[in-house]
Structure 1
Amino acid sequence: MSKPVAWGAALVAAAILLAACAAPTRPTGKPIVVATFTVIADIAANVAGDRLHVESITKAGAEIHGYEPTPGDIRRAAGAALVVNNGLGVDAWFDRFTADLHAPRVTLSDGVAPVPISSGAYAGKPNPHAWMSPRAAEVYVDNLRRAYTAIDPAGADQYRANADSYKARLRAVRDELAADLRTVPADKRALVTCEGAFSYLTRDTGLGEKYIWPVNAEQQATPRQMASAIDFVRDRAIPAVFCESTVSNKPMRQIAKASGARLAGTLYVDSLSTADGPVPTYLDLIRHDARTIAAGLTGSAAR
């Protein structure tokens, strides 16, 4: 057995032993739902309402690609009533350490039509960032409602009401997204980012897409990737480029300088901000990104 595998097995074993001695509820007395990262934890909390206590493994601002769970993370998962993950590979790091745990699990992207990654080492694999489409997020909500009802049948009516209410809010923010991006001129309708995290959003809104690397597991821009992005921006006279909050924007600054575009703002994808930051909720994240993109590509001030 290799050292990483042996370490992982020992970690799980220790966590399970500790979890056996721990109550599966926090001081609130509510059943615990553990989500792998903050974005889906927020969606999960909206469907849970006041019947369940939802926690995120990763903290606000964390880079979720390649995250390494701690013994405390595994212990929390072992004591949970439900574990919530995104799927499509983005939180596969959690699968490695929870395969032998007995907590029920729901994969929120089940039922979403995946968008394949078009280039790079991940070409042909599904793009994991399905939550960047409010339309796809409705599938997440339905999966949560069914999972919650399975572990807490007495709350079925409340979970259905919460899900219906949240889906109405998703449709409202989807309409805002479309309206904001409709203002972008036809010849400037292309989104250039560090990570290829916006394929579901660009599919929904008819934007073109160009990125440096497909997923943040790479984070190292090759000369070919840089040259390709510079040519794309220069050839199409794209006025603005963007980068995400959880990675360095240094490569995109270089692309902006070489192409004559502006680095027009920070987008949020993999993590929410803290409560006092710009995107404390998933709906805030979608609104912020839509307004930042529209303002950058039209040259107007973000609302």
Structure 2
Amino acid sequence: MAKTIRTVCALACVALLTACGGGAATEGAKRPLVLTTFTVLADIAANVAGDKLQVESITKAGAEIHGYEPTPDDIKKATKADLILDNGLNLEAWFAQFVSEVDAPHVVVSDGVAPIDIAEDAYRGKPNPHAWMSPMNVRIYVDNMVRAFSSLDQAHAADFHANGENYKRQLQQVQDELTGSLHRLPSNERALVTCEGAFSYLARDAGLAERYIWPVNAEQQATPQQITRAIEFVNQNKVPAVFCESTVSDAPMRQVVSATGAAFGGVLYVDSLSGPEGPVPTYLDLIRHDARTIVAGLTGAAR
């Protein structure tokens, strides 16, 4: 009899633990899944979502976003998504075909941003897609996310709004750091020369003249004519340092360095965050890193 009682008690305990464990797993599984096209958007979205949504990036840290080719695993993950966020402004050339294969709704987070048009080459007149390089533009991204998340999960709309307002305050702080540090540059150093033309919004905010080798990352880039134009700009304006982005080869810019004597000022981040142990694990870190790298390169502090 005692053995029977012990057995019943043991089974009851197992059932209770299973129920508790199953309940926790179910609770976690109930969080809607939000997919973003790249890691920068995922970090911004995670700040707005808090712990109410599960946010993941389709592309990994370090990926080149413009010409990304979705994998079967990406498609499989997207079929489970409750919402997909993309940047828009022609950034994700692969995205239209990608979403045509899944039923999840999607939201363009750059809606409402005043675009800066690309000034040259085959992309002339098209919007520069790198709007997130202005923290003030990202405030618009945040508002779009708050609305999308509130529609997706109405019970936590107040949380999304509060998270969004808190994050926008942080964006203002970073904007003030960015403009304050770059506005101190002498007039002859107020030029930003990069591999890709990804810094139009940052340059506008900071009052920098912008020059690049190619306007948008593409399969064919860094033609001799493009490199020559960059060399001429650096020589004519006595630009002290030039830069390149983390997701592309810096070999073309090294040619500019060799031909002009300008210093290579460092690596800038645009299309992707680094891993957790890297220099830019978050979007706010990315903007701070780029501003400090530009200032250090142009003033000679990095040399």
- Is TM > 0.5 for Structure 1 vs Structure 2? yes
Q: Partners of 1:299 and 1:179 in 2: how far apart?
A: 18
Contiguous gaps of at least 5 residues in structure 2: 1-25
Q: Partners of 2:156 and 2:138 in 1: how far apart?
A: 22
Q: Secondary structure at the match of 2:122?
A: coil
Aligned partner of 2:116 in structure 1 is 115
Give yes or no for the alignment of 1:176 onto 2:177. yes
Q: Partners of 1:27 and 1:51 in 2: how far apart?
A: 10
Query: Could you state the TM-score of these two structures normalised by the residue count of structure 1?
Result: 0.89
Q: Indicate conservation of the 8 Å contact 2:78/2:104, yes or no.
A: yes
The 5 Å alignment of 1:32-181 reads: 32-181=33-182
Contiguous gaps of at least 5 residues in structure 1: 1-24
Q: Indicate conservation of the 8 Å contact 2:192/2:208, yes or no.
A: yes
Q: Partners of 1:149 and 1:184 in 2: how far apart?
A: 42
Matched letter for residue 249 of structure 2: S
Aligned pair count?
278
Deviation of the 1:27 alpha carbon:
5.7
Q: Partners of 1:185 and 1:26 in 2: how far apart?
A: 56
Query: Could you state the TM-score of these two structures normalised by the residue count of structure 2?
Result: 0.89
Deviation of the 1:220 alpha carbon:
2.0
Q: Which deviations, in whole Å up to 9, do the C-alpha atoms of 1:28-80 show, x marking residues without a partner? A: 54110000000011001100000001000000011111100011111111211
Give yes or no for the alignment of 1:224 onto 2:225. yes
Q: Partners of 1:236 and 1:275 in 2: how far apart?
A: 38
Q: Which deviations, in whole Å up to 9, do the C-alpha atoms of 1:257-293 show, x marking residues without a partner? A: 1011001100000000000000000000000000000
Aligned partner of 1:250 in structure 2 is 251
Deviation of the 1:301 alpha carbon:
4.0
Q: Partners of 1:265 and 1:218 in 2: how far apart?
A: 23
Q: Secondary structure at the match of 1:209?
A: strand
Matched letter for residue 204 of structure 1: D
Q: Larger deviation: 34-43 or 93-102?
A: 93-102
Aligned partner of 2:11 in structure 1 is none
Q: Indicate conservation of the 8 Å contact 1:213/1:219, yes or no.
A: no
Deviation of the 1:104 alpha carbon:
1.6
Q: Indicate conservation of the 8 Å contact 1:132/1:198, yes or no.
A: yes
Q: Indicate conservation of the 8 Å contact 1:183/1:298, yes or no.
A: no
Matched letter for residue 292 of structure 2: R
Deviation of the 1:97 alpha carbon:
2.1
Q: Partners of 2:90 and 2:121 in 1: how far apart?
A: 16
Deviation of the 1:187 alpha carbon:
1.5
Q: Indicate conservation of the 8 Å contact 2:75/2:101, yes or no.
A: no
Q: Partners of 2:119 and 2:258 in 1: how far apart?
A: 26
**Closer, same or farther in 2 for the Cα pair 1:34/1:26, shift >3 Å?**
farther
Matched letter for residue 85 of structure 1: D
Deviation of the 1:253 alpha carbon:
0.5
Q: Larger deviation: 279-288 or 98-107?
A: 98-107
Q: Secondary structure at the match of 2:195?
A: strand
Q: Secondary structure at the match of 2:34?
A: strand
Aligned partner of 2:269 in structure 1 is 268
**Closer, same or farther in 2 for the Cα pair 1:279/1:132, shift >3 Å?**
same
**Equivalent pairs: percent with the same residue?**
63
Q: Partners of 1:28 and 1:265 in 2: how far apart?
A: 42
Q: Indicate conservation of the 8 Å contact 1:26/1:32, yes or no.
A: no
Deviation of the 1:219 alpha carbon:
5.1
Matched letter for residue 133 of structure 1: S
